[in-house]
Amino acid sequence: MKAKEGELKVITGNSAAAYGAMLCRPDVVASYPITPQTEVVEQLSRFHADGILDAEMVEVEGENSAMNIVAAATLAGGRAFTATSSWGLVYMYDAVLQAAGFRAPVVMANVNRETPGILAVSSGQQDMISTRDAGWIQLIVENSQEILDTIIMAFRLAEDYDIQLPVMVNYDGFYLSYLAEGVRIPTREDVDKYLAILKTQPQRTILNPQKPIGAGSHGILTEFMELRYKHCAALERAKKKLDEIDCEFGEFFGRSYGGQIEEYRTEDADIIILTSGSTVGTTRTVVDAKRTAGLKVGLIKLRMFRPFPREKLIQTITGKKAVGVIDRSVCFGWNCGPIYMELRALSPEIGRIPIMSFIDGLANIDITTPHIERAINDVHKASKGEPYQEVTWIPLEEYL
């Protein structure tokens, strides 16, 4: 059975996020506006005012309340959505940890923006990185269509009986949030069908006034460890689950994104570029140009950052001669890119090949085709055994 093609609309990434959420019929939406996410809240409010979205819209005084409300709504058995960015994400930090600890299946769009410290109303994945150990599932997407589709998939993943974890869907602020492009809007009926499997699963534990139980009580001694173990086990299951959900989405809607990672021309590649988010689109065109010029380069798009898709990456990278990772954020202390650092942890399995970190695009610096070409050239040289620099801050190079 196939879904209808759906109406084609030219909408922004933020609008695509709102459409994705609306189509999943959330019971509760609580969100506080922040640049570059504001349009998501506006669009959802418009849907609600137009009678298209039958949800309880909670006007909150800040992000901390927003997260506590949506987490509680899911614990009461509802479906809940919120969206934030940067300062908003860190302002709800304790609630972000609570939602994960409660195993509250919240879906949140996080529109990537630089975090406090150096004020920057501009793009960067540092906000997402600052919550990587919060216990959430973190997905990163590349374009508006993928934003809409991934939010639908995120509800399937979050609310799955075997998972029961909050899911954060990340997309680049400014580059994707305000970029208008053609997006197919699936019909509500088809989204209902796609999500229907959740209703056939056993009922997860929810608050029930007839039989009062509490959430988030003291957990000391071994019970605490047991819950942490269960949480990690669920994260481990989420990797394969995302692949299945993505595959099923592809069969039904005709669009598929590869699950945990998407591989592009990797099969016969000698060298690999690993990156995520909107940069993937630019990288794809550079890879094509390099291929035409005879260089065997492939691209891996990281879609799942937490849990980290290590098996998939080991499988794809083993046997290659060198890897370059382009990060749009930094890992303080290791002083390299965070995705690079994670990949380095796979060195024993991948083998002793050059792995290089490229930091680029912080605070809206464009990751241009010459930047990516520069990275590919460096990785190519390293693959031939030439000495290489471990970490390169591409836009700063000429000043260093």
Partner 1 sequence: MAVKKFSSKYEAAWSDADALLLCLDTGSWRTKRPVVNKEKCSYCGLCSIYCPPQCMVTKKDYFDPNLEFCKGCGICARECPRSAIIMMPEGDFTP
Smallest distance, Å, CB 252 to partner 1?
28
Dihedral of CA atoms 189, 81, 280, 269 in degrees, nearest 10, equals -70
Q: Among candidates 144, 126, 140, 139, which has minimal Cα distance to 165?
A: 139
Q: Which is nearer to partner 1, 164 or 266 (CB)?
A: 164
> Within positions 103 to 162, which residues make up the interface with partner 1, using CB under 8 A?
103-104
Q: Which is nearer to partner 1, 26 or 101 (CB)?
A: 101
Smallest distance, Å, CB 213 to partner 1?
4
| Interaction of residue 164 with partner 1, rule CB under 8 A | yes
Smallest distance, Å, CB 207 to partner 1?
9
DSSP state of 284: H
**CA–CA gap between residue 348 and residue 117 (Å, rounded):** 36
Q: Which is nearer to partner 1, 212 or 333 (CB)?
A: 212
User: Residue 384 in 3-state DSSP?
Assistant: coil
**Segment near partner 1 (CB under 8 A), from 95-103, 119-127, 263-271, 319-327?**
95-103
Strands 271-275 and 297-302: parallel
Q: Which is nearer to partner 1, 119 or 221 (CB)?
A: 221
Q: Which is nearer to partner 1, 100 or 336 (CB)?
A: 100
**Segment near partner 1 (CB under 8 A), from 60-68, 102-110, 169-177, 252-260?**
102-110
Q: Which is nearer to partner 1, 241 or 328 (CB)?
A: 241
Smallest distance, Å, CB 29 to partner 1?
23
Smallest distance, Å, CB 103 to partner 1?
4
**Segment near partner 1 (CB under 8 A), from 14-22, 89-97, 101-109, 387-395?**
101-109
How far apart, in Å, are the Cα atoms of 335 and each of 62, 330, 341, 382? 32, 7, 9, 20
Q: What is the DSSP string of 305-341?
A: EES--HHHHHHHHTT-SEEEEEESS-BTTTTB-HHHH
Q: Which is nearer to partner 1, 97 or 247 (CB)?
A: 97
Q: Among candidates 39, 46, 140, 120, which has minimal Cα distance to 84?
A: 39
User: Residue 31 in 3-state DSSP?
Assistant: coil
Smallest distance, Å, CB 232 to partner 1?
11
For residues 24 and 195, is the Cβ–Cβ distance under 8 A? Answer: yes
Length of the chain: 400
For residues 4 and 190, is the Cβ–Cβ distance under 8 A? Answer: yes
Q: Which is nearer to partner 1, 105 or 277 (CB)?
A: 105
Size of residue set near partner 1 by CB under 8 A: 25
Smallest distance, Å, CB 102 to partner 1?
5
**CA–CA gap between residue 330 and residue 358 (Å, rounded):** 10
Smallest distance, Å, CB 26 to partner 1?
20
Q: Which is nearer to partner 1, 220 or 400 (CB)?
A: 220
Smallest distance, Å, CB 347 to partner 1?
23
One symbol per residue from 196 to 235: x for binding partner 1 (CB under 8 A), - otherwise; what is it?
--------xx---x--xxxxxxxxxxxx--xx-xx---x-
* Tokens standing for residue 174: 């400014």
Cβ-Cβ contacts under 8 Å for 113 (sequence gap 6 or more): 35, 36, 85, 86, 120, 121, 122, 123, 124, 127, 173, 174
**Segment near partner 1 (CB under 8 A), from 99-107, 135-143, 183-191, 260-268?**
99-107
Which residues of this chain interact with partner 1, rule CB under 8 A?
Answer: 101-104, 164, 204-205, 209, 212-223, 226-227, 229-230, 234
